[in-house]
Amino acid sequence: MNELIVSSVLRLLALLSSSNKGEDALLTKKYVENYLVSSYGKSIGKEKHIDFIQYLAQYAELTNRQQSINKLLDLINEQYLLKDRLRIYITLLNFIRYTWNFKSGFFIEGKRYTKDIDAIGAGLRISESDRLSIKQFVFNELYRIEAKSNLLLIGEKAPTIEGIKFHRKEGLKGLITILYVANGSLMLLQYKGRAMLEINRKIVFPNQLYTITPGTYIAAPGLKPIYYGELLALVLEQNEDSAITLIVKNLEFTFINSTQGIHNLSFTCHTGEMVAIMGDSGVGKSTLLNILAGLNKKYQGTIQWNGYDYKTENSRLRDLMGFITQEDSLIEDLSVYENIYFSSRLSLGNIPEKELQQLVEMKLVEMGLFDIKHLTVGSPTNKIISGGQRKRLSIAIELMREPKVLFVDEPTSGLSSADSEKVMNILKTLTLQGILIFVNIHQPSSEIFKLFDKLLVLDQGGLPIFYGNPLAGILHFKNAGNWVDKKESVCESCGNVKPEIIFDIIAEKKVNEFGEPLDSRKIAPKLFHELHLKENQEQQVIQDTTIIPDAKFTSTSHFSQFKLFFSREILARTKSREFLLFSLSVPLLLSIIIATVSKKFIFLSNGEPSYSFYHNQNIPPFFFMAVIACMFIGMIISADAIFRNKKTQTRETYVKLSPRSYLRSKVVFFLLLSAIQTLIFTIVGVWVLQIHHLFFILWAVLFSIASFGNIAGLLISANFKSIAGIYLAIPFLFLPQILLSGVVVNFDQLYYRLTSQKVVPVIGDIMASRWAYEAIVVTQFTKNPYEAPLLASEMEESRLRNGLLYLIPLINQSTEQLKLVVPSERATNHNYKVLLNAMEELNANTAEIYIPILPPNNTDNATLEALAREVDKYNGALSRQYNRCIAGKERIMELQMKTFGGADGYITFRNRYQNTAIVDLVRNRGTSEGVRVAGETVTVTADPIFRNPPSTSGRAQLYAPYKRIGSTTISTFGFNTAIIWIMFLIGYLSLIYYSSLTFIVKHIHKYAQFKWRKE
């Protein structure tokens, strides 16, 4: 017992006895001395008796004894839990019982004491029903105890008292009486009989009161020990309708290409037990926990829950289970209350909102978290609440679902000894509520070890080497190791247990003749396993199916889950100042920097700087950097979004919440965030660079490319297992978007196997940056108010000019060179094929006039001369058409000038809406060649913005004015934006169904391995 509690008892006894004089005073001192010596041993008893004499002397001259008692009670209430106050009350009653046994007639005087002690019990705020039950138990008035369900009798013959549970124990000469005090989780024991009964190897005296605590066991010669957990189970006697029995028989699991796993494991456990799984690192503790929790179904053997096979009933049984991982699955940016609220709201779909809030508040009070409910949880590296509080919060989240079975992985890892004991005491309390708990634990302290009802020890290779009561386990391994104290499991003087003894015995090494330890163990794992099988020969009978308790709660619908996930995401993100600052400041700062750097000024004749959108050569680089920056922001800000909450997602998937609803909420959140970020970027860029008429187009494209970045980032986050891997993957996805966009390296300058002469190469078509940049540039040129009225005329002008300046001279040149070739070889000559391709290109550019294609079987000189004459006539007709086109364009420009009040107004209008660098870019004025001959392919390179796309499948040259799908033409802005969103959709489907994709890839890989091995 705690020394402070003993001190409080002695003070109270001294106050109660302070009025005794003469012989009564001497007798009281003697009785107290005898009681202390019998309860705590001679040494401690004598020491405490001296303290009692000092207290008596201190209180001898008191005038107001009751006032002093009340002050002491107030002090006790401030410092002690109810369970400790109950112990004080029980000890006082036990003293009266002790003195009653020693002095006949003392109990007449003792009635005064009982009256005083009743008052003390009330002052200690112990309920009247508990005080009455304890007093009636102490004085053997069992028939008067109302709550007979808290009583248990153990013996050979059942007593005549009705309504009290009885457990038959053959060979027990006498009767053990147990009272369970629920409010303090205490058990009281009395024994009547002549057998040599022991509690933790200390003799039990008849008619004395003993407190039973975790780690206690009762033994007698010739009887199997009765352990604390067994007594508790007998007293509480679970309702069969809600009870769970687990039977594991011949469980086998082996890792691929290994002998490691779990082997020949059999055991049985029941509701209300807490089972420890112990063993050295790598023996399979976590593997076994995952199998029992239903996370790994690739085992052989039998696992039955109430007689139902685990594999076939896994989904139904999972509703009754909870899993607490070693690393807490908490949302770091939410408060304690918000973490438990959102988790509960998602899992408990059939509970009204008000009732749920009340349940959450009650659970926070129960777990001792109510006072910190508004504190943010924080991360393990940036702690706001302690490790013990984090663990209790994780437990509280699981308990809201009221599971019947709870799996806990290393609950004390990283916690202080005090926090570890708090957490484990909470778990032990849960077993009293009818929960079966499995705990994977490494090396528990003495107090924690004594809390367990069953212990399962695994050795190297996953071999079970013990299953049973933890204290029996100590004896088992001491016997196996042939230790001197092999009959002692608990220290007689302090009551402590040393669980590390188990591992010391297991790891004990053989020694050579020089006393040096060898590598091999004294007792090999197989020998330990055989010893375990020998001592546990009880055959496990496959259980008949019984009722599986129904899950009390049901999850919300998938749509409701999506809304809750989305609300949680918004709340968590908005509460993170760092995230908000980064999310809103980065697009703002990048836009300011890029736009400011890109704002080129010209200097007037007077030396004054002047800005003109028309003369700014940096507008194309600004558009490109805007695309790259927005895609980068979208990717980097979402790259850890799934990874950072992966533990939470794993737990929520385990409790059968929809992972797709979770992922959809992430996608929608980042889409909204990207819409805001790109809006900020666009507003700043448009304002700084004075980009008119393009606001919506620019924002729409930047939002589209940022959304693509979002989905790419989320895919990375979902598939990589480390933050380092995530941030290393980003450059590999991002850099090709810069290099292969057609801006840094022209598509016609790529490695020849990658390039394409007529259209953008495939490697460019799969780059989202190319589609975004082209959409902005082409739309700025074709849709600006200055260019729009002239576009049709300039397209016609460009086609005619390309024919006159580039294609017709190429045809004439090829014809002349072909004349120099022997007639019989002309049809296969390079120049002949170039000539044909040039004629096809010319006909495609000028559909109104058509040149007949030269037949391959007729390439004599006369035919070539006739072709030259046709080309000359065609050249004349083309020139006349070109002149008419120029005249038409000039008329349009004259009308525009009148509209804007003359040439100066028209130039001002042009300078406001058109940009010369954009014009040069889309008209390809940076190259001197207007037509390119690559091999036999002829391609006009001048004015791509004015040329028809050569393909009807949507593919086109870079900066094409529109795209063609069959006979339908689609604006470049509309088509390119649609392509980006198709890419987004592919990424979205891969994200939502990535587990299916992973499944397919994994099985393809397995099939390939099988084929390779077979060959």
Average pLDDT over residues 751-770: 90
DSSP H or E run through 521: strand 517-521
Contact 397, 340 (CB under 8 A): yes
- In tens, the pLDDT along 648-673 reads 888 888 888 889 999 999 999 999 99
Compute the distance between CA of residue 365 and CA of residue 359 in angstroms, rounded to an integer: 10
φ and ψ of 254, to 5 deg: -130, 135
**Greatest alpha-carbon span in the chain:** 154
**Which residue reads 């391709």 in tokens?**
837
The pLDDT tens digits of the residues spanning 68-121 come to 888 888 888 888 888 888 888 888 887 777 665 554 444 334 455 667 778 888
pLDDT confidence band for 540 (50 / 70 / 90): low
The 3-state secondary structure of 404-417, one letter per residue:
CEEEEECCCCCCCH
Q: State the Cα–Cα distance between residues 316 and 319, nearest whole angstrom.
A: 6
- Length of the chain in residues, anyone? 1015
Question: Which pLDDT belongs to residue 104?
Answer: 43
Distance CA 338, CA 358 (A): 13
Question: Does residue 714 register a pLDDT over 60?
Answer: yes
Distance CA 987, CA 597 (A): 34
Phi, psi of 127 (to 5 degrees): -60, 150
- Please determine, for residue 236, whether its predicted confidence score (pLDDT) is greater than 80: no
pLDDT tens, 554-611?
A: 778 899 999 999 999 999 999 988 899 999 999 999 999 999 999 999 888 888 889 9
- Backbone phi, then psi, for 62, in 5-degree steps? -65, 140
Q: How confident is the model at residue 1015 (pLDDT cuts 50, 70, 90)?
A: very low
Tokens 């590598």 belong to which residue? 519
Please choose, from the candidates 914, 900, 690, 927, the residue with its C-alpha nearest in 3D space to the C-alpha of residue 790: 914
Long-range contacts from 978-984, C-beta under 8 angstroms, 24+ separation: 979/768, 979/771, 979/954, 980/701, 980/704, 980/705, 980/707, 980/708, 980/768, 980/771, 980/772, 981/704, 981/707, 983/708, 983/768, 984/704, 984/707, 984/708, 984/711
- Out of 293-307, 425-439, 913-927, the most confident range is 913-927
Record the tokens describing residue 737, joined without a space: 């978007």
C-alpha to C-alpha distance for 171 and 220, rounded to whole angstroms: 9
> Residue 837 pLDDT more than 70?
yes
Phi, psi dihedral angles at 650 (to 5 degrees): -60, -45
Under the banding of pLDDT at 50, 70 and 90, the label for residue 853 is: low
**Token pair in block for residue 541:** 């009978």
- For 323, phi then psi, to 5°, come to -135, 125
Q: CA separation (Å) from 866 to 443, 808, 877?
A: 101, 15, 17
Beta-bridge partner residues of 186? 181
